[in-house]
Amino acid sequence: MTTPAPMPAFPPAFTWGVATASYQIEGATSAGGRGPSIWDTFAAQPGRIADGSSGEVACDHYHRYAEDVALMAGLGVSAYRFSVAWPRIQPAGAGPANPDGLGFYDRLVDTLLAHGIDPVATLYHWDLPQALEDRGGWLDRDTAERFAEYADLVAARLGDRMKLWITLNEPFVQMTFGYGLGVHAPGRAELFGAFPAAHHLLLGHGLAVAALRAHGRTPVAITNNYSPVRVLGEGDADRAAGAAYDALQNRLFTDPLFGRGYPDAPGVDPAVVRDGDLAAIAAPLDALGVNYYNPTGIRAPEAGAPLPFELVPLAGYPTTSFDWPVVPDGLYDLLTLLQDRYGADLPPMLITENGCAYDDEVSPDGRCDDPDRIAYLDGHLRAVARAIADGVDVRGYFVWSLLDNFEWAEGYTKRFGLVHVDYDSQVRTPKSSYAWYRDLIARP
């Protein structure tokens, strides 16, 4: 057996972190005055969640946050990316802040800082207050205004201690899965009629940047998920299909951030864009969050197909339990693509999510070995190191996820965590990948 080469060195100030999201781990969905979110409503509808579950209990992080912060401290991470649940702060999506909701995040942030861990807060990780969805959700322009008010309330309470604000997580997924295809909350299937959600998400981001900066100079970012396109086919139609998919996934939520307006992507409707919107969206950023899981295979669709591209599985790679291909080089390709595409406009990047799901089990002796996850993380971190060596400005890496959790429409059937969670007992068991990541962070 060959011994793997040593992991390349990372810059001395490189941020090592872990990430989670509110609805996926917090539970306590009716505690402390929290209002219902679109995921509470969606999960209650039969057939929406693979195992019929919900985030009602999840990992009970709302009550067990101190135990979870202790796990982070044991890892030695320098930062924790979490999300704030909008329904905890504004149960009806508008009005004054709920003091109990803010109090929970107050306690979490103070506990993180007491352990030397920088808090990195994402303001929106898909749990829109149901009251706002009842009025149109992200298809309605007013939701962008409400988001800015919510950002102002959170920043007024936590801004003195926050190390980085992230406005939105993966707006492409919220638009496509939530409003385009209907497989995520709120379950709307508008296909390309979902573009207003894209624009209002980005407008909400821009308005929130202004609200956050009114409370100080805490750095502000947005997190997008990206997937480099692998065109499978040699024809012009195949290349055109690849360009269409790239515009939709990789450019629609990024070009406007850097003052380039919307690309020629499927479904873009300029009629919803008002004077001043694009300037608000292009507010300068301090960082760009990059989420990466795998590339996407694309070829030309059959005649008469509803989409201008066809998604094709990438053959020849190992896969996760999600059947996603494991392609570490895709992360290098993505980082260099972003660098080449946006050049001097591109701020420093952070890998705000990268990870994998496997069917992890705790053995009778209490161990949870996950060698496939270790191999996955090792390969992807080497890709990041190679990109840095080639001049790409990447400042940090956050593993998705600290804990096994509620994996959206898949319920509790997929495990991404460095820590195994028994959902009946809430016992946390660090996996072998936890020890691997701890030892990597601790390297001199």
**Active-site annotation holder among 353, 361, 407, 410:** 353
Residue 2 pLDDT: 60
Tell me whether residue 170 is one of the annotated catalytic residues: yes
Residue 411 backbone class (left: φ over 0; alpha: ψ -120 to 50; beta: rest): left
* Rounded Cα distance, 17 and 297, in Å: 30
**Backbone phi and psi for residue 214, each to the nearest 5 degrees, phi listed first:** -65, -15
Determine whether 149 is an active site residue. Answer: no
Look up residue 319 and give its DSSP letter.
B
State the DSSP H helix or E strand holding residue 81, giving kind and residue range, or none if neither. strand 79-83
434: Cβ contacts below 8 Å, ≥ 6 apart: 71, 75, 418, 419
Residue 346 pLDDT: 98
CA distance 305 to 430: 46
Q: Could you say which of 26, 56, 149, 170 is catalytic? A: 170
Measured distance CA(439)–CA(444) in Å, rounded = 10
Class of domain 15-441: alpha beta
**Do 161 and 114 meet the contact criterion of CB atoms below 8 Å apart?**
no
Record the tokens describing residue 227, joined without a space: 């997937």
According to DSSP, the residues that pair with 120 across neighbouring strands are: 81, 164
- List the chain pLDDT tens, one digit each, 444 residues: 566 789 999 999 999 999 999 999 999 999 999 999 999 999 999 999 999 999 999 999 999 999 999 999 999 999 999 999 999 999 999 999 999 999 999 999 999 999 999 999 999 999 999 999 999 999 999 999 999 999 999 999 999 999 999 999 999 999 999 999 999 999 999 999 999 999 999 999 999 999 999 999 899 999 999 999 999 999 999 999 999 999 999 999 999 999 999 999 999 999 999 999 999 999 999 999 999 999 999 999 999 999 999 999 999 999 999 999 999 999 999 999 999 999 999 999 999 999 999 999 999 999 999 999 999 999 999 999 999 999 999 999 999 999 999 999 999 999 999 999 999 999 999 999 999 999 999 998
Give the residue extent of every domain in the chain: 15-441
Strand order in the sheet with 229-231: 229-231, 296-299, 310-312
The radius of gyration computed from the CA coordinates of the chain, to the nearest angstrom, equals 21
The residues facing 226 across adjacent strands are 292
The DSSP bridge partners found for residue 122 are 83, 166
Q: Residue holding tokens 């990206």?
A: 226
What is residue 151's predicted lDDT score, i.e. its pLDDT? 98
The residue with tokens 């709920």 is 98
Predicted local distance difference test score (pLDDT) of residue 368: 98
Q: Residue for token digits 């802040």?
A: 97
Cα 29 to Cα 61, 246, 261, 269, 290, distances in angstroms: 11, 37, 38, 36, 29
pLDDT of res. 4: 77
